[in-house]
């Protein structure tokens, strides 16, 4: 076993709005070296860093839109998100919760600030990841996993803090999310002066996003708040230390290594499949959802 070194610490790009409710820094696929293939199966990461939204009677967000061929994973750190979909599903993602939506063959959905939260406004902070699906399940039935914070597995590290496991494994403790390919996803919640070590296979695409505080990786690389740490695909082990209280999202997944052909909200394996997605969308095969 050898050290998994930091390839680059990426600073957040200028924020842009998704709809009027999500003010995000895109890291995947637009930041330096972080295209879809580089972080496969994590093909998109939008990060709404802490931002104060004023009170609004009409909840801000994104109107009805389709997805096909992948999963959307929404992690709420502050604020609340409400969603509805064309399969009749819906729910609220509260602080600390995760919604893992498998769009697969296709859904229409809309995502907004939760209505009561919106009336008060406040600090909003969340991550949305798109997780690619293997070709053989891209057209399977949609599926939802509402993962409340209390459902997540906590691996305690004494005075160092704890690891909150969403998916995959940390030292034998497993997270609750079902995944279609091997994925590890967890929040390291470290106390000032705390540290944690991680071990993932060398070829897994691995990264860390600093949500709170700052971190020192492998005793040498400093990553401030809102920065993204990309690891090399060599070595297995790394250590994160927290000079102040810190929250770090860690993602590590086995690359699916299939062709990626994406256009807007569709991520398939070929141009023909993307054309089919547009045809299906335009002929109502994604169902119906009122705006
Ligand atoms: Mn969406």
Q: How far is the CA of 222 from the centre of ligand 1 (A)?
A: 33
Residue with tokens 């995959």: 168
- pLDDT, residue 4, reads 98
Give just the sign of the alpha carbon dihedral 255, 256, 262, 264: negative
User: How many residues are given for the chain?
Assistant: 291
- pLDDT, residue 162, reads 98
Domain ranges of the chain: 6-253
- pLDDT, residue 33, reads 82
Residue 277 near residue 271 (C-beta atoms within 8 A): no
Q: How far is the CA of 38 from the centre of ligand 1 (A)?
A: 22
Q: How far is the CA of 123 from the centre of ligand 1 (A)?
A: 21
**Edge-to-edge strands of the sheet including 107-113?**
61-67, 107-113, 81-85, 90-93
- pLDDT, residue 32, reads 77
Q: How far is the CA of 18 from the centre of ligand 1 (A)?
A: 10
- pLDDT, residue 290, reads 85
Q: How far is the CA of 110 from the centre of ligand 1 (A)?
A: 6
Q: How far is the CA of 89 from the centre of ligand 1 (A)?
A: 14
pLDDT tens digit at each of 291 positions of the chain: 899 999 999 999 999 999 999 999 999 998 778 999 999 999 999 999 999 999 999 999 999 999 999 999 999 999 999 999 887 878 999 999 999 999 999 999 999 999 999 999 999 999 999 999 999 999 999 999 999 999 999 999 999 999 999 999 999 999 999 999 999 999 999 999 999 999 999 999 999 999 999 999 999 999 999 999 999 999 999 999 999 999 999 999 999 999 999 999 999 999 999 999 999 999 999 988 888
CB atoms within 10 A of CB 42: 26
Q: How far is the CA of 272 from the centre of ligand 1 (A)?
A: 22
Q: How far is the CA of 55 from the centre of ligand 1 (A)?
A: 23
Measure the CA–CA gap between 243 and 256, rounded to whole angstroms: 35
- pLDDT, residue 30, reads 86
Q: How far is the CA of 265 from the centre of ligand 1 (A)?
A: 8
Q: How far is the CA of 83 from the centre of ligand 1 (A)?
A: 9
- pLDDT, residue 65, reads 95
Q: How far is the CA of 74 from the centre of ligand 1 (A)?
A: 9
Q: How far is the CA of 197 from the centre of ligand 1 (A)?
A: 33
Q: How far is the CA of 7 from the centre of ligand 1 (A)?
A: 30
CATH of range 6-253; options 3.40.50.300, 2.40.160.10, 2.60.120.10, 3.30.499.10: 2.60.120.10
């Amino acid at each position: 076993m050898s050290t998994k070194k930091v390839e680059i610490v990426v600073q957040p790009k200028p924020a842009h709005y998704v709809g009027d409710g999500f003010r995000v820094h895109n890291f995947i696929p637009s930041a330096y070296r972080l295209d879809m293939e580089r972080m496969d199966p994590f093909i998109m990461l939008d990060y709404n860093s802490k931002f104060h939204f004023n009170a609004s009677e009409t909840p801000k967000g994104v109107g009805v839109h389709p997805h096909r061929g992948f999963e959307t994973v929404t992690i709420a750190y502050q604020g609340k998100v409400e969603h509805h979909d064309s399969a009749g599903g819906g729910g609220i993602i509260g602080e600390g919760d995760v919604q893992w939506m498998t769009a697969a063959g296709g859904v229409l959905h809309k995502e907004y600030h939760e209505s009561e939260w919106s009336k008060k406004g406040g600090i909003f902070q969340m991550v949305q990841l798109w997780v690619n699906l293997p070709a053989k399940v891209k057209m399977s039935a949609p599926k939802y996993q509402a993962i409340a914070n209390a459902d997540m597995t906590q691996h305690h590290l004494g005075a160092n803090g704890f690891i909150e496991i969403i998916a995959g494994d940390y030292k034998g403790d497993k997270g609750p999310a079902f995944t279609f390919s091997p994925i590890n996803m967890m929040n390291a919640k470290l106390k000032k002066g705390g540290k944690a070590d991680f071990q993932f296979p060398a070829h897994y695409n691995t990264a860390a996003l600093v949500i709170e505080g700052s971190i020192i990786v492998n005793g040498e690389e400093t990553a401030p708040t809102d920065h993204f740490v990309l690891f090399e695909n060599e070595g297995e082990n790394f250590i994160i230390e927290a000079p102040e209280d810190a929250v770090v999202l860690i993602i590590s997944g086995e690359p699916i290594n299939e062709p990626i052909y994406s256009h807007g909200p569709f991520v398939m394996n070929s141009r023909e499949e993307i054309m089919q997605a547009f045809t299906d969308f335009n002929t109502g095969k994604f169902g119906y959802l009122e705006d």
